């Protein structure tokens, strides 16, 4: 997955020069979008950009407003390009949360140096959290259960994780036996005042190190969850946590789509039966149509190992996605865990289903490791997807039991 950059500005020749530097920086920016100032925040909030460069207009006030809007909805590296002869303006720009100010009279040299500096800084502090979304192909596939367990395991591997419940069912508080005092709906209701502090105060901590942002318990609050609120929540979550797990609903609602477009990896959880296959196909077709990159989507076959289920290879062929992992069917342990409000990886850590989930978390971590430079000017994203030695592929499940 190449990193994406966004250039915002109305000055065509400066935009082009910035684009050239970014594309040829050797830092792995494979896609660069260029949009006018008026298009913000539509673009900055919809897609996750690693880098945003704003070419300031002649009228500094509108430039400052744009920078403020972008910083509010995006955790990307933010650079501003402008003239360096007004020290007060430079300071005001930096006060908007801009990472560095680039003098347009020395554009190429300054921008190149700045990109390298910021990349190194960001890798070192590791603050560019990864967003992993789980969505069910059809009802009861197990996406909420898997999301809770994955969040627990990622917190164990990386000290902490965030879990955001975007579903109408809002099951996560029950699955983790937590009593949240704030929810995603409260944050969305206060979208104009939402900042890092308010976001962190809305989370409820599970003893495993998972910070849950719960879904609204009352049905009439579900409509308060907006795409803008979700984009802002995810930008803040990404800036605070190394991993953010999303429990997603069907992709048809706009706030779900906003979240799916932000995710670095989408796990489509399915059962190996015809209904699940049919709905998985519909989901994939829709995601493709709305612009969710196919290389971000992986399948997870849940409740694997039941009699008469569809052959996994045929399912992969029909869907055209790799099944990253197979989680065995274990109703007894899953029911016990659900009814106790303790994720199965904590309740029965040695069970086959828990060991399988540990492998899934390891695969997700390997896939989503922060960008490492391989010395050849191209990014290296770590282990490949369907390595049978890493994945509990069907033939290995039997060995687990």
Ligand X SMILES: Nc1ncnc2c1ncn2[C@@H]1O[C@H](COP(=O)(O)OP(=O)(O)OP(=O)(O)O)[C@@H](O)[C@H]1O
Q: Does 217 bind ligand X (CB under 6 A)?
A: no
- Pattern of binders to ligand X over 171-190, x per CB under 6 A? x-------------------
Closest distance between ligand X and the C-beta of residue 359, in Å? Answer: 13
Angstrom distance (rounded) from CA 129 to CA 267: 17
Closest to 397 (Cα-Cα) out of 333, 312, 318, 280? 312
Task: Please state the closest distance from residue 275 (CB atom) to ligand X, in A.
Answer: 12
Residue 304 and residue 141 in contact, taking contact as beta carbons nearer than 8 Å = no
Among residue numbers 126 through 145, which ones bind ligand X (CB under 6 A)? 136, 139-145
284 makes contact with ligand X (CB under 6 A): no
Task: Choose, by CB under 6 A, the member of 202, 228, 232, 338 that binds ligand X.
Answer: 338
Contact between 50 and 70 under an 8 Å Cβ cutoff? The reply is no
Interface region with Mg ion, contact rule CB under 5 A, candidates 13-21, 95-103, 121-129, 139-147: 139-147
Task: Quote the tokens at residue 121.
Answer: 């800084």
CA distances from 103 to 14, 39, 93, 99, 107 (A): 12, 24, 13, 14, 6
CA atoms of 72 and 45, how far apart (whole Å): 9
> CB of 332: closest distance to ligand X in angstroms?
8
208 interface partner picked from ligand X, Mg ion, none, CB below 5 to 8 A per type: none
Least CB distance to ligand X at residue 189 (A): 24
Q: Per the structure block, which two tokens stand in for 198? A: 């308010």
Contact with Mg ion (CB under 5 A): which of 76, 128, 141, 144?
A: 144
**Which of 74, 302, 365, 368: binder of ligand X (CB under 6 A)?**
302
Q: What is the C-alpha separation between 200 and 221, in angstroms, rounded?
A: 20
Q: How far apart are CA 86 and CA 387, in angstroms?
A: 55
Nearer to Mg ion, 82 or 215 (CB): 215
For binding to ligand X (CB under 6 A), which residues are involved?
136, 139-145, 167, 169, 171, 302-303, 327, 329-331, 334-335, 338, 353
């Amino acid at each position: 997955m190449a990193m994406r950059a966004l250039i915002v500005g109305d000055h065509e020749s400066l935009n082009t020069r910035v684009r050239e530097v970014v594309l040829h920086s050797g830092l792995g920016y494979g896609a660069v979008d260029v949009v006018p100032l008026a298009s913000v925040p539509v673009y900055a909030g919809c897609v996750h950009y690693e880098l945003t460069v704003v070419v300031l207009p002649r009228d500094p006030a509108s430039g400052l407003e744009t920078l403020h809007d972008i910083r509010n909805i995006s955790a990307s590296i933010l650079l501003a390009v402008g003239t360096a002869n007004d020290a007060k303006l430079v300071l005001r720009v930096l006060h908007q949360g801009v990472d560095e100010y680039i003098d347009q009279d020395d554009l190429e040299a300054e921008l190149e140096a700045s990109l390298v500096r910021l990349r190194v800084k960001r890798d070192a502090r590791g603050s560019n959290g990864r967003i992993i979304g789980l969505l069910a192909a059809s009802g009861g596939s197990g996406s909420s259960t898997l999301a809770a367990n994955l969040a627990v395991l990622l917190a164990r591997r990386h000290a902490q994780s965030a879990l955001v419940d975007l579903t109408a069912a809002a099951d996560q508080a029950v699955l983790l036996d937590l009593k949240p005092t704030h929810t995603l709906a409260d944050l969305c209701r206060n979208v104009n005042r939402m900042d890092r502090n308010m976001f962190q105060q809305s989370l409820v901590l599970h003893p495993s190190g998972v910070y849950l942002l719960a879904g609204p318990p009352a049905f009439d609050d579900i409509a308060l969850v907006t795409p803008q609120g979700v984009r802002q929540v995810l930008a803040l979550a990404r800036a605070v946590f190394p991993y953010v797990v999303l429990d997603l609903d069907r992709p048809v609602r706009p706030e779900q789509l906003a979240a799916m477009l932000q995710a670095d990896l989408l796990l489509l959880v399915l059962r190996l039966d015809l209904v699940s296959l049919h709905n998985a196909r519909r989901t994939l077709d829709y995601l493709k149509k709305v612009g969710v990159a196919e290389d971000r989507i992986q399948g997870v076959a849940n409740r694997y190992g039941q009699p008469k289920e569809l052959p996994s290879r045929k399912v992969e062929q029909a869907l055209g996605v790799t099944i990253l992992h197979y989680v065995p069917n274990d109703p007894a342990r899953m029911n016990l865990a659900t009814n106790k409000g303790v994720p199965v990886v904590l309740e029965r850590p040695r069970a086959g289903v828990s060991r399988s989930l540990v492998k899934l978390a390891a695969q997700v971590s390997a896939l989503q490791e922060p960008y490492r430079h391989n010395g050849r000017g191209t990014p290296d994203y770590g282990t490949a997807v369907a390595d049978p030695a890493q994945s509990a592929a069907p033939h290995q499940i039997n060995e687990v039991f």
